[in-house]
């Protein structure tokens, strides 16, 4: 699997998730972790369920919901990608993204190939290093 293949796979995994849906889930049913289940993090979601009686998850979810709704789509997607990478193994190399081949976009913090001139997430111009 080439670096490019791994990269596009990561993007595709996250395409189905709507930022608005995740935000609304967090605001209204975040106390039971609905947004976590929606975003494919059932383990985190279960913590919300277990501790919902303390109202702490609802409080955290309220902030998460507001944050989801405030951030740009590009930022939201790149956050999901980052979470996925952390989840998979904690290293970039698992999905073909390594510090040698990719840099972080200063705008949306998504990973872009080093030689790219434009970020494929937020379309901002990148300064070659
Ligand atoms: Zn970007």
Centroid of ligand 1 to alpha carbon of 118 (angstroms): 8
Strands 102-104 and 111-113: antiparallel
What is the radius of gyration, based on Cα positions, of the chain?
A: 16
H-run or E-run covering 45: helix 42-50
Band (126; pLDDT cuts 50, 70, 90): confident
**pTM beyond 0.75, yes or no:** no
Burial 8-34 (b: 16+ CB within 10 A, else e): eebbeebeeeebeebbbbbbebbbbbb
pLDDT digits (tens, 9 = 90+) for 57-112: 999 999 999 999 999 998 998 888 877 766 554 444 445 677 778 888 888 888 88
Q: Give the 3-state secondary structure percentages of the chain, helix then strand then coil, rounded to 5.
A: 60, 5, 35
User: Which residues, by Cβ under 5 Å, contact ligand 1, an ion?
Assistant: 105, 107-108, 119, 121-122
Centroid of ligand 1 to alpha carbon of 74 (angstroms): 7
Centroid of ligand 1 to alpha carbon of 128 (angstroms): 14
For range 101-125, the mean pLDDT: 87
């Amino acid at each position: 699997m080439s670096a490019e293949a791994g990269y596009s796979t990561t993007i595709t995994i996250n395409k189905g998730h709507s930022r608005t849906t995740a935000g609304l889930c967090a605001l209204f049913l975040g106390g039971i972790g609905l947004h976590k289940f929606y975003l494919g993090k059932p383990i985190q979601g279960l913590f919300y369920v277990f501790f919902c009686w303390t109202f702490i998850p609802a409080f955290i979810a309220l902030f998460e919901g507001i944050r989801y709704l405030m951030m740009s789509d590009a930022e939201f997607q790149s956050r999901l990608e980052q979470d996925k990478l952390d989840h998979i193994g904690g290293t970039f190399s698992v999905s073909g993204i390594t510090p040698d081949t990719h840099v972080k976009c200063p705008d949306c913090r998504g990973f872009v190939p080093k030689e790219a001139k434009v970020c494929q997430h937020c379309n901002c111009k990148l300064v070659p290093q």
